Amino acid sequence: MFGIKFCYHDAMSDITMTHKKLKVGIVGGTGYTGVELLRLLSVHPNVSLTAITSRGEAGLAVADMFPSLRGYVDLAFSDPEKANLAACDVVFFATPHGVAMNQAQALLDAKVKVIDLAADFRLQDTAVFEKWYKMPHACPTLLADAVYGLPELYREKIKSANIIGNPGCYPTTVLLGLAPLLEQGLLDLNAPIIADAKSGVSGAGRKAEVATLFAESSDNMKAYGLNGHRHHPEIHAQLRHLGGQEPQFIFVPHLIPMIRGMLTTLYVKLSAQAQAMDVQALFEKRYQHERFVDVLPAGVLPETRSVRGSNQIRITLHKQADAGYLTLVVVQDNLVKGAAGQAIQNMNLMFDLPENAGLEVVPLLP
């Protein structure tokens, strides 16, 4: 199956029939994921932006910091202590790890749904969280109610959720790349799953660090996190859940000299059954009704620019017939499907809106 699937086309015509506007708050609106939320939500047909917080920029007009939003967002940043987040229907946390878990209970008590773009609700095991994030978990009792927000895998749970742990960018590429095989038990899990992943500099966040200065990151490429990356336990936990057994997982992330975009190459050993199957057809069938997952025809290789600025993820696969291995290449925009776009996709499901509402963005080219 080639190209984009318009499985929600008819639903789009009904969006304007819904008159209710969700009151939306964003905690941490000055980072890259925060401004990406603003870009997409400012034109969402069912959203009214209500509060955007920033401790350091309180009182500053959002459009003064981000001129691209002039004419789209007329709010000013508010102090987190003074913002009336309890008046919102849903609050997005585009904040560092550890912020959402300290505010989630009060918001839930006020009947406000929570979508956290950091790691506070991605891991169910508090010991693993505390090991990797070097902080105690402030609300472990809420973890049992938190849903891992990968719509293509957990759509039904997301629909009834009050709190979402939005997946990390690297995990989104790995898990959507491997889900059709893991769900059917078609991998030889005695062999390691290898993920060779590359991300643009925006994945490091909007902060001043030497490693992300133009003179340091431009015209350069480097691996990092070989001793352990924080997305490793998140991916490992989901691989174990999908595959039903403990996987061997090798993950090497790289920083590449571009602003946004992510390309992950996966190497896996197929089971004897899968080696005799048409895995291309398996992937096409699994994702045929998924608006934001595009399985490319055999032999077509995805490029990061083919998804830039969009909520699209594209996958290609190539069988190494003689060795019994499969190579998959997955691309996405790390700030959209890898963060803000996926968070909005989750919001749409939580409030029974068309899943593609506010996300019909054609990728930017050139």
Reported in sequence order, the residue ranges of the chain that DSSP labels E, i.e. its strands, are 22-27, 47-53, 90-93, 113-116, 147-148, 163-165, 193-199, 222-223, 249-255, 262-269, 293-295, 313-320, 325-332
Torsion, CA 180, CA 344, CA 209, CA 66, rounded to 10: 150
Active-site hit among 7, 88, 139, 169: 169
CA-to-CA distance for 173 and 168, rounded, in angstroms? Answer: 9
Taking each helix axis as running N to C, give the angle between helix 231-243 and helix 169-183, from 0 to 180 degrees, rounded to the nearest 10.
10
Q: Is 169 a catalytic residue?
A: yes
Beginning with the edge strand found earlier in the chain, give each strand of the sheet holding 222-223 in spatial order.
222-223, 249-255, 193-199, 262-269, 325-332, 313-320, 293-295
Pairing of strands 113-116, 90-93: parallel
Catalytically active residues, by annotation? 169
